[in-house]
Chain A
Amino acid sequence: MTMTKTRAPMRMSIFSLIPLLLIAGPASAPAAGAEADFRAAYAAAEAAEQEAGHLRNQWTVTASALADAKKAADKGDFDQALASAKEAEALAKASIFQATSEKEAWKALEIR
């Protein structure tokens, strides 16, 4: 009990930092900076998703996150677009990891 009580405020402070940083970004440099960040993140996510495609192991959720990012960017909400693009990249990377490790790991499931 005491553990969770002491930890909770810490966790809160970490999470509250993120929006602060996000707000700080556009405030110091105008929207162009946020857009550039999004474009870079989106390109990275797309590249990762393409690699997953070469490995024949794309995830449906990655495609949705990419679509969400694009939708938010079209509306000019680059913070949301950046968050979705980063999520898409993380998902694509996870699918790449899965495909790579399963090149050998599938054997563990085989009935012998």
Chain B
Amino acid sequence: MVLVLTPLRLALAALGALALSVPPAGAADTPDPAADAKAFRNYFVRKFPNVKLEEFVNGPYALNQDMHRQWEEKEQFPPYEFSLEMGKEMFAMPFGNGKGYADCFPNQGIGIRQNYPYFDNKEGKVVTLELALNRCREANGEPALSYVEDEMAALTAYMAFTSRGKPFDIRIPDDPRALEAYQNGKRYFYARRGQLNFSCATCHVQNPGERMRAEVLAPALGILNAMPIYRSEWGGMGTISRRFTTCNSQIRGVPLDPQDEEYRDLEYYLSYVSNGLPISGPGARP
């Protein structure tokens, strides 16, 4: 019997052995977003057993009673009010061609923040809200806004405000490119960078609730639900792009350009693992 094995069969047998050995290794590397999100959530719930799940969207203010009282007081008279008003005015103001932001978005742009970023099947890339806003402007002959300055923060503040309380609903369509974008975002989140050798997770997974100088680090779970944020340290509003780029430079890494593919993928990953948690933006942070 053994003698009958031709070279071809031998080769096939070898291939079979290879095929058998590949799946287990491959399975470990095949991303499973649903399982990731569950593990991610469980980690924070276990780390902060006294914090209600939906409270994580309030960042450091969720983590202890003292901070929480500060937050309640602050929310009575939030410092982002001026920005919110500016965003509302900007959103309603028609472009030169008579059209407006409302024409670019589903439901006239109201109450849709929780669906961004989404994966665009046609383009094969992740589209964030900030990117969609600038594409809307450019499609209507208006110049793009800076991703890190006040106007973009104001617009996203207003859009987040109209979506408050709606749970993040980020979908990963059945498209290998979407899964790849998700995985790329995850890799970016956990990879160490900069001279300080920090990853996003060093602060926001391993050390939330701990102090970094005078600041209390926010948990990664629900961190984007509160965006954009008024930071007392900045003395103004900041977009997600501003947060990502300053995080990078603070650990002595040269930031990428706002809305570079890595940042968009990161936003995709980070939003996905906070699925189900309510939008709370715009937020106020110390």
Q: Do A and B bind?
A: yes
* CB-based contact A109/B249 at 8 Å: no
Inter-chain contacts of A60 with B (CB < 8 A)? 194-195, 249, 252-254
A49 → B minimal CB distance (Å): 10
* Nearest residue, chain A, Cβ from B41: A111
- Count A-B pairs with CB separation below 8 Å: 54
* CB-based contact B190/A107 at 8 Å: yes
Q: Is the interface of A mostly helix, strand, loop or mixed?
A: helix
Which of chain B's residues 21-44 have a Cβ closer than 8 Å to chain A? 36, 39-40, 43
* CB-based contact B193/A111 at 8 Å: no
* CB-based contact A56/B256 at 8 Å: yes
Q: Is the interface of B mostly helix, strand, loop or mixed?
A: mixed
* Nearest residue, chain B, Cβ from A109: B190
A74 interface residue (CB < 8 Å to B): no
* Nearest residue, chain A, Cβ from B196: A59
* CB-based contact A59/B191 at 8 Å: no
Chain A interface extent, by class: 20 to 34
Once bound together, how far apart are the Cα atoms of A63 and B254, in whole Å? 9
* CB-based contact B256/A111 at 8 Å: no
Inter-chain contacts of B186 with A (CB < 8 A)? 110
Once bound together, how far apart are the Cα atoms of A95 and B256, in whole Å? 15
B205 interface residue (CB < 8 Å to A): yes
* Nearest residue, chain B, Cβ from A63: B254
B196 → A minimal CB distance (Å): 9
* CB-based contact A59/B252 at 8 Å: yes
B45 → A minimal CB distance (Å): 12
Once bound together, how far apart are the Cα atoms of A17 and B193, in whole Å? 35
Which of A6-14, A21-29, A35-43, A98-106 touches B?
A: A98-106
* CB-based contact B262/A56 at 8 Å: yes
Which residues of B are in contact with A by a Cβ distance under 8 Å?
36, 39-40, 43, 186-187, 190-195, 197, 199, 201-202, 205-206, 249, 252-254, 256, 262
Provide 19 A-B residue pairs closer than 8 Å at the C-beta atoms, listed in order of the A residue.
Answer: A56-B262, A57-B193, A58-B253, A59-B253, A60-B195, A60-B249, A60-B252, A63-B254, A95-B195, A98-B192, A98-B193, A98-B197, A102-B192, A102-B193, A106-B190, A109-B190, A109-B201, A111-B40, A111-B205
